[in-house]
Amino acid sequence: MARLGTETAFEVLVKARALEAKGRDIVHLEIGEPDFDTPDNIIEAACDALHDGFTHYGPSAGMPQLRETIAQYVSATRQIEVVPEEVVVVPGGKPIIFFTILALVEEGDEVIYPNPGFPIYESMINFLGATAVPIRLREEMDFRLDPAELGGLINERTKLIILNSPQNPTGGVLTKTDLEEVARAIGNRDIMVLTDEIYSRLIFEGEHHSIMSLPGMKDRCILLDGFSKTYAMTGWRMGYGVMRADLAAHISRLMTNSNSCTASFTQVAGIEALRGPQGSVDEMCAKFKQRRDVMVAGLNQVTGFSCRSPKGAFYVFPNIRETGWQSKKLADILLEEAGVAALSGTAFGDFGEGYLRFSVANSIENIEKALDRVGGWVKNNL
């Protein structure tokens, strides 16, 4: 158990709430979830489903109608042919990380994962006694990985490569050329790819590309996507994986052994989410873009901070090296003294040192308040 890591966002949230309980006013920029409500049509579908009796167990891999809907959605968005047997519905995107690593990785294997990156990857790799091999995401490359560097990390022990685009915590987005080079670096080797595309609909510039769309890659990939970020449904707990049917059968057995199934009425609402009007997704994305612009411009005015403009997701990842502070210490003191909850870059791995992560899933008013507070604190203390 000592090898299992955690997700610091939840710990900082608890700390921030404790300060609030003492009467402090805190601007929450730590947690990674849309501040918008789930669209009404989806909520209505769930309420109707509850009244219609979708309150029972369902198949471990997900309801056939939802698997079919997801297969169609992924076929259309990734320009590949996906059948329902290749889809497993799970409670959130996270279980796909857990189950994939559990199913594919053994002690002694190597797994290449992005660093800074979503902390659960490294946690799960370590938990299984495998070797976590970080591929460093560099600011000067807009936090895209360098495929040549990735090629240099691959060896005969490499079992799995994890990609994440748009990326948490940096907002980096991989280009089609990046993905083609990654596919070339893998070549014919017996390596699987977990492609975490949970932010695929939150892109501000250009378009989303999936490595799964490239010739010959579909059968090597496990696609992770879901409803949490796209439809502001984090608390509903529903996501999915798309993978070869034989692997999907194993992941379904892991579901049978752990959760039995994803909640039935939420799955009915999931069908509405994918088939119903998509305007709310575009609106939400436009709002995140506006907020990103305010946040990036504001942070670049703060002495010692410099911030690139992320191309997707809803985070900004400023470089704070010039402040002379370590990331964790700066994040802690900004919470305690300035009332702004952010995360240390090191919450996302060792290569996050020198950075902070701010979520822009908050109102422009609160973002401006946070900028005033951070700017004020820096002016008075540095």
Q: Which residues bind ligand PLP (CB under 6 A)?
A: 32, 92-94, 118, 164, 168, 196, 198, 226, 228, 234, 239
- Which CB atom, from 270 or from 339, has the smaller least distance to ligand PLP? 270
Q: Return the number of other C-beta atoms located less than 10 Å from residue 371's C-beta.
A: 20
Residue showing the smallest CB distance to ligand PLP in the complex: 92
- Which CB atom, from 8 or from 164, has the smaller least distance to ligand PLP? 164
Shortest CB 381 distance to ligand PLP, Å: 31
Q: Which amino acid is at 365?
A: E
Q: Return the number of other C-beta atoms located less than 10 Å from residue 242's C-beta.
A: 29
Among 193, 160, 200, which Cα is nearest to 179's?
193
Give Dmax (Cα) for the chain: 61
- Which CB atom, from 32 or from 62, has the smaller least distance to ligand PLP? 32
> Which residues neighbour 236 within 8 Å (Cβ) at sequence distance 6 or greater?
38, 46, 227, 228, 263, 266, 269
Q: Kindly tell me the sign of the dihedral angle through the C-alpha atoms of 222, 227, 232, 235.
A: negative
- Which CB atom, from 70 or from 198, has the smaller least distance to ligand PLP? 198
- Which CB atom, from 60 or from 323, has the smaller least distance to ligand PLP? 60
The residue assigned the tokens 């006694």 is 129
H or E stretch at 33: none
- Which CB atom, from 224 or from 302, has the smaller least distance to ligand PLP? 224
Among 270, 246, 348, 350, which Cα is nearest to 358's?
348
Shortest CB 301 distance to ligand PLP, Å: 28
Shortest CB 328 distance to ligand PLP, Å: 20
Shortest CB 226 distance to ligand PLP, Å: 4
Shortest CB 13 distance to ligand PLP, Å: 13
Alpha helices by DSSP H, listed for 53-175, are 64-78, 94-104, 119-127, 147-153
Shortest CB 196 distance to ligand PLP, Å: 5
- Which CB atom, from 222 or from 302, has the smaller least distance to ligand PLP? 222
Shortest CB 118 distance to ligand PLP, Å: 4
- Torsion-angle region of residue 348: left (phi > 0), alpha (psi -120 to 50) or beta? alpha
The DSSP symbol for 337 reads I
